[in-house]
Chain A
């Protein structure tokens, strides 16, 4: 089946530093990738949608200069949290949708990245 990986699975950083999270589709080409944020015991909130080779579309209230998204290839998207602060601590999840007609109807989710900002 379609597999999506994320790296790292967890990261701890100091306030003011930047953190990059990678999302890879391992066995399919992802035309669209999505980035979500999940707070403890809460639902997933969509942060942005990225299409390969174009700028990401951010949801209302999400700071595009703080959460930089790059989707440079059909198998890789990155989320960079710039100048991270403790309130950015959260669980970040990516998902990918393929270009193959069979799997394009479904989003496949990565295992998530736990970010803790001290």
Chain B
């Protein structure tokens, strides 16, 4: 079945450091891929998405590229801020896409220190 694996956290970085959170997936067909962020005390928010191979999703300085050859969708940011501290979830939506079902990774906690 479909699944998502994320690197275990917590990830602790200093402000302005480079961030990578690894995400790999297993899926049949061509899934859509997502990164969601959950700030403390809040619900999940869509951060970025990519719907086909080689697509790059980007938002708020974060980027992720849909790599079908390595079945990966790693999240990157060139310079993190304290306000980026949150839990990040990688997710996929496999075909048939009309079901809308999302499969989530286990989440990676990011802590950014000033």
Contact = CB atoms under 8 A, between A and B. Distances in A.
B100 A44 contact: no
Contact of A49 (B41, B101, B109): B101
Interface residues of A, number: 21
B100 A46 contact: no
B101 A110 contact: no
Main secondary structure of the interface of A (DSSP, over half): strand
Contacts of A110: 43
A109 B44 contact: yes
A43 B105 contact: yes
A93 B107 contact: no
Chain A CB within 10 A, most for which of B51, B89, B101, B103: B101
Contact of A93 (B43, B49, B99, B103): B43
A76 interface: no
A93 B100 contact: no
Nearest to B91: A44
A95 B113 CA distance: 31
Given A4-B43, A93-B43, A107 B102 contact: yes
Interface string A85-118: 0000000010101000000011111111000000
A110 B41 CA distance: 11
Contacts of A49: 99-101
Interface string B39-82: 00111111001010000000000000000000000000000000
A6 B100 CA distance: 20
B110 to A, nearest CB: 14
Contacts of A4: 43
Contacts of A77: none
Interface of A: 4, 6, 32, 34, 41-44, 46, 49, 93, 95, 97, 105-112
12 contacts: A42-B106, A43-B105, A43-B106, A44-B89, A46-B101, A49-B101, A93-B44, A108-B46, A109-B36, A109-B45, A111-B41, A111-B43
